[in-house]
Amino acid sequence: MTGYAPLPIPPTALGELRDRDDAGRPPEPFTAREDGVPLRCVGSPLRCCLRPIEPGERVALVSYAPLRRWAAAVGADPGAYDEVGPVFVHVEECGGPRDVRGYPFARPGALRTLRRYDAAGHIVGGALFEIPEDSRAGFDRALDEAFAHPEVEVVHVRALEYGCFHFEVRRPAGSARS
């Protein structure tokens, strides 16, 4: 299988995160700058539109619990597998991803973890993944391997260095279970 769809943070969740994040805190918006004041973030991934932050954009670093939100939508209970981590989002509605081709934040050589979750929201494995030069083919192979396990319903792609959530991929509708 190829052509998995990397999913951004859903619009409803973004609206809630722009009011209060998943750790219960209000966002602290700032203007992205390259000089590190107030925070070096230019080039960091925006999870609302799956592209890097550009200088001058109004953004916020918020806590996000992607598994908790997915589980609530499908009636699962992740229990101890629930986790909250930092993500950058636009402060105002941005319209989401535009013309996403391939996989976002796919810098060759970067290390990712692909965490696999079942229908109950429990972790059922994971894999370390180094993004190859042909990132699309590499991600397709890694996701094929993840979804070859019939219990896997959703995969979270995270940066290895900081554990930051990058995007989610769900089992494609109608895909065969081995």
Query: CA nearest 127: which of 143, 151, 104?
Result: 143
Q: Give the count of beta carbons closer than 10 Å to the beta carbon of residue 121.
A: 21
pLDDT tens-digit readout, 52-88: 999 999 999 999 999 999 999 999 999 999 989 899 9
Rounded CA-CA distance 36/46 in Å is 17
Rounded CA-CA distance 8/16 in Å is 15
pLDDT tens-digit readout, 25-50: 999 999 988 776 556 688 889 999 99
Query: CA nearest 170: which of 70, 76, 77, 101?
Result: 70
Confidence band, pLDDT 50/70/90 cuts, at residue 95:
confident
Confidence band, pLDDT 50/70/90 cuts, at residue 102:
confident
pLDDT tens-digit readout, 4-16: 999 999 999 999 9
Give the containing element (helix H, strand E) for 169: strand 165-170
